[in-house]
């Protein structure tokens, strides 16, 4: 059951990382966004939950094999260990995300170039520049 939480942490970490890499910032509420090193730390902590859980499970199985015992079928012990791993990684990720969120950068709008012929209503009738005999020569 807690494996779903591990997978969700992994997916959310990937979403944060991809959003920061492509858009520059991960939105955190109305006027704050997570960008830069705090965003990478948060994404890394969230993505590390599943691999650490797998490593701990393999370590427990290896330890049981080393002692020549069978693994206990007690699900509650494994679930408590997995919940502890999730809390160990998610709480610092949440703390880094909340403390590292900065006010949203205002994006500058690109100004459209105003063309000379927009000043005139009848620009189709007027030539853009004055032509003379020198216009045909190579420059």
Each residue's pLDDT tens digit, 77-116: 888 888 999 999 999 999 999 898 888 877 666 766 655 5
Asked if residue 124 is part of any domain, the answer here is no
Count of domains observed in the chain: 1
Whether the CB-CB separation of 101 and 54 falls below 8 Å is answered with no
* Structural domain that includes position 95: 2-104
* CA 29 remoteness from chain centre: 15
> 2-23 and 75-100 are packed helices; what angle lies between their axes, rounded to 10 degrees?
20
Asked if residue 32 is part of any domain, the answer here is yes
- Residues in the chain with pLDDT < 70? 1, 72, 107-109, 111-139
Asked if residue 65 is part of any domain, the answer here is yes
Tell me if residue 131 falls in helix, strand or coil.
coil
Whether the CB-CB separation of 28 and 34 falls below 8 Å is answered with yes
User: Distance between CA atoms of 13 and 94, rounded to whole angstroms?
Assistant: 11
The reported pLDDT for the residue numbered 139 is: 55
The reported pLDDT for the residue numbered 30 is: 80
The reported pLDDT for the residue numbered 103 is: 85
Strand extents, DSSP E, the chain = 26-27, 32-34, 102-103
The reported pLDDT for the residue numbered 77 is: 81
Is pTM beyond 0.85? Reply is: no
CA-CA distances (angstroms) from residue 131 to 71, 120, 128, 134, 136?
93, 19, 9, 8, 9
The reported pLDDT for the residue numbered 1 is: 62
Whether the CB-CB separation of 45 and 90 falls below 8 Å is answered with yes
Asked if residue 19 is part of any domain, the answer here is yes
Asked if residue 119 is part of any domain, the answer here is no
Asked if residue 114 is part of any domain, the answer here is no
The reported pLDDT for the residue numbered 131 is: 58
Mean pLDDT across the chain, nearest whole number? 80
């Amino acid at each position: 059951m807690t494996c779903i939480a591990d997978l969700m942490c992994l997916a959310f970490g990937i979403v944060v990382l991809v959003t920061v890499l492509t858009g520059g910032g991960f939105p955190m509420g109305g006027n704050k966004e997570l960008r830069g090193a705090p965003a990478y730390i948060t994404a890394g902590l969230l993505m590390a939950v599943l691999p650490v859980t797998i490593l701990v499970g393999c370590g427990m199985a290896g330890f049981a094999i080393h002692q020549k015992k069978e693994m206990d079928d007690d699900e509650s012990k494994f679930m408590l260990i997995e919940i502890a791993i999730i809390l160990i990684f998610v709480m610092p990720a949440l703390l880094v995300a909340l403390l590292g969120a900065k006010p949203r950068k205002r994006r500058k709008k690109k100004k459209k170039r105003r063309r000379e012929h927009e000043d005139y209503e009848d620009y189709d009738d007027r030539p853009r520049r004055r032509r003379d005999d020198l216009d045909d020569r190579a420059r």
